[in-house]
Amino acid sequence: MMVVHGTPDAARALKDRRAQRWDDLPDDALVRSSAALGQPVSTVEEAVRLILDRVREGGDSAIRDLAEKLDGDRPGSLEVSARTIANAYEQTPRDVVEALRLAAERAREFHQVGLPKSWFDEERGYGEVVNPVERVGAYVPGGSAPLPSTAIMTAVPARVAGVSEVIVCTPPGPGGDPAPAVLVAADLVGVDRVFRIGGAQAIAAMAYGAETVPAVDMLCGPGSVFVTAAKRLLFGEVGIDGLYGPTETLLIADETANPTLCAADLLAQAEHDVMAAPILVTTSNPLAQDVLRELDGRAERLKRGAIARQSLDRRGCIAVVDSLDDAFDLANEFAPEHVSLMVREPRDHAAKIRNAGAIFAGEFSHEVLGDYVAGPSHVMPTGGTARFGSGLNVRTFVKISPIVALDDASSLELGRAAAAIGRAEGLTAHAEAAEIREELNVHSDPSRRPRFLKGAAQP
């Protein structure tokens, strides 16, 4: 794990770790993709373009072919049956089912508070109409670490927003079905349909539609570089919640922080992916050294210890800086997915974090709770996009249409200003559309207003 001292070196190290490396794949992965797709590809984007085109043109058959060639298993039915979902409860430990139920309930409560509402100001003649997206497709990662929590974190805010239909695509496991816990989570939150499709072909299926899979209005959820590339290429054809890279956690710690807790939280993120970025910024050099020792000892005991260690070595960093203000400035510049405040009186400092997907204030308000049961969605902006973006929330799934409904007097008063601006812009039709209503208003009785006004083409 890299250790740097001083703000300038820390800033350089964090800048290097913030890069969204969309095509940062080992050569052998591209070789495998080329073999599976039947033609050479040199980048992730090239591979994904081929996948999108094939699904758009070939539908279900293309999805099955891609699954067989890319994943080594040709699925039968693409949709998971109600019986399979019911059986998933029997295959999932009871404590896990109850934990997922708790997570779903807390998520509902959290998102209901943030639900925007339509409004109208009669006096001013304007307002906003809030309508939900009609159909949403959520991608729930599978593979080596299926994420039932993601089914909750994507579907619940969509449901609270009033989305009529939510479907999920998730990769099948070794037995041909998605992980039972993922199916249970999807059922608990009222997902309408689940499909055993993974990767870029799942994103294509939901975007374009196929014989079995309905086309959606919006896609949401995290995934591999192939999933993210597919979402990026489909922007403009279907709604996209965001583009999510490897997870990032930045801990800010002073001399009061517990090194064991700091190390545990860094490892919790490091085990996600070898590209995860676990970062500690501290004002205490003794704490930095203690955390290093804790990381070495704890990583050895983890089931995914090899992944965590690669993450620490490749993208991890401990930065020792002179002051907390320096630490806050670094955090805002880095704009990470998660910021954890392991400092004295953490709530007093929370407002100093302006750029973060989520803020965790205090050693016991730790980020793992945010991953599962705190309430907010764990789908958060990465790669510095927290500078301008927010995490998945109930507002992601609504559309806001302004409404203008003026009385005649207000319309005429504003129309004079509108006409002046229109003529200043050289748009005389704009100006006349406002001015002509002055002539119409001479006939104050609507029943006596003429159909044709001065300058109109007569029938």
Cite the active site residues: 337-338
* Per-residue model confidence (pLDDT) at position 175: 84
Amino acid at 140: V
φ and ψ at 72, to 5 degrees?
80, 15
Structure tokens at 157: 């805010």
Residue 384 lies in a domain: no
Q: Whole-prediction pTM value? A: 0.92
Same domain, 194 and 97: yes
72 pLDDT tier (thresholds 50, 70, 90) = confident
| Residue 186, domain member (yes or no) | yes
Name residue, tokens 């799934």: 397
What letter represents residue 323's amino acid?
S
Q: 233 with 267, same domain?
A: no
- 299 shares a domain with 228: no
Measured between alpha carbons, how far is residue 362 from residues 237, 324, 442 in Å? Answer: 42, 15, 68
With beta carbons less than 8 A apart as the criterion, state whether 259 and 296 touch.
no
Torsion over CA of 355, 358, 364 and 370, rounded to 10 degrees? -160
What pLDDT, on the 0 to 100 scale, is given for residue 22?
56
Which residue range forms the structural domain that includes residue 37? Answer: 27-71
Q: Are 229 and 315 part of one and the same domain?
A: no
Mean pLDDT, range 318-342, rounded to an integer: 97
Q: Residue 446 gets which letter from DSSP?
A: G
Q: Based on the structure, what is the number of domains in the chain?
A: 4
- Which pLDDT belongs to residue 71? 84
pLDDT band at 36 (very low <50, low <70, confident <90, very high): confident
Return the higher-pLDDT residue of 445 and 376: 376
Q: What is the per-residue pLDDT for 450? A: 60
- Angle at which helix 44-71 crosses helix 27-37, to 10 degrees, equals 70
Q: Give the SS3 label for residue 240.
A: strand
Q: In what order do the strands lie in the sheet with 193-195?
A: 193-195, 165-169, 135-139, 218-220, 239-240
